């Protein structure tokens, strides 16, 4: 006697794995572009600064437009960083530390190189695509020779265009990518700036 048997099995299994993650970040970045001309208008060098946006500047920005506190801008004003006592810029630098405990000092007043006039005032074009830029470069006409390490921008209700003033909030500060730059009396440094987040 012979018997045959067959077992039939059917199985179905479905695994659905879905990983959902949405990441959105905003980080402030800024770039200074500097062009150095001599008294004859010849371009001597061009350099950029991929700058540090300082913590105190970010805090004021968030307090104003995220937290909704009433705020009227003063400035912003641009300044130059001297090679006198130069070390570095850092995110923790503040306006109150200018010519004090920051690892840098402002050029133009007590520290070479000197330039005519006050800190120039930044005028902004309309923001677009998450960025804003100056309407035109700001000019520094030197009245004395010296070495420039970089640039900074100061704003806030107490900010002033007066050279060497430590009043106001530091938005950004940074050093030239190509290192320190020597300037002579009557030279002109044109600096543009843009920032994005």
Domain for residue 43, yes or no?
Answer: no
- Domain tally, the chain: 1
Domain for residue 22, yes or no?
Answer: no
Q: Which domain holds residue 173?
A: 53-196
Report the percentage of the chain scoring pLDDT > 70. Answer: 84
Token pair of 118 as six digits: 């006050």
Query: By C-alpha distance, which of 75, 136, 142 is closest to 107?
Result: 142
pLDDT above 90 for 197:
no
Report which of residues 6 and 103 the model is more confident about.
103
Domain for residue 94, yes or no?
Answer: yes
Domain for residue 34, yes or no?
Answer: no
Task: Report the distance separating Cα 57 and Cα 170, nearest Å.
Answer: 5
Domain for residue 99, yes or no?
Answer: yes
Q: What residues does 74 pair with on adjacent strands?
A: none
Indicate the helix (H) or strand (E) that contains 58.
helix 55-65
- Please give the average per-residue pLDDT across 4-16, as a whole number: 49
pLDDT tens sequence across 136-193: 999 999 999 999 999 999 998 899 999 999 999 999 999 999 999 999 999 999 999 9
Q: Is the peptide bond before 113 cis (omega within 30 degrees of 0)?
A: yes
Domain for residue 190, yes or no?
Answer: yes
pLDDT tens sequence across 108-145: 999 999 999 999 999 999 999 989 999 999 999 999 99
The model's pTM: 0.84
Domain for residue 8, yes or no?
Answer: no
Q: Look at residue 4 in the predicted model and tell me its pLDDT.
A: 52
Domain for residue 7, yes or no?
Answer: no
């Amino acid at each position: 006697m012979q018997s045959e048997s067959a077992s039939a099995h059917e199985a179905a299994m479905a695994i659905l794995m879905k990983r959902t993650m949405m990441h959105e970040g905003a980080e402030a970045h800024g770039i200074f572009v500097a062009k150095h001309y001599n008294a004859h208008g010849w371009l001597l060098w061009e350099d950029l600064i991929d700058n540090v946006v300082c913590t105190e500047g970010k805090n004021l920005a968030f307090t104003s437009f995220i937290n909704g506190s009433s705020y009227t801008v003063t400035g912003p004003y641009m300044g130059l960083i001297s090679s006198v006592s130069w070390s570095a810029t850092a995110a923790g630098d503040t306006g109150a530390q200018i010519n004090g405990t920051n690892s840098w000092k402002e050029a133009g007043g007590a520290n070479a190189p000197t330039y005519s006039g006050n800190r120039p005032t930044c005028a902004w074009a309309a923001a677009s695509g998450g960025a804003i830029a100056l309407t035109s470069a700001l000019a520094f006409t030197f009245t004395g020779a010296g070495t420039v390490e970089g640039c900074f921008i100061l704003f806030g209700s107490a900010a002033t265009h007066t050279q060497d003033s430590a009043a106001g909030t530091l938005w950004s500060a940074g050093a030239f990518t190509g290192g320190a730059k020597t300037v002579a009396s009557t030279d002109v440094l044109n600096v543009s700036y843009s920032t994005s987040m």
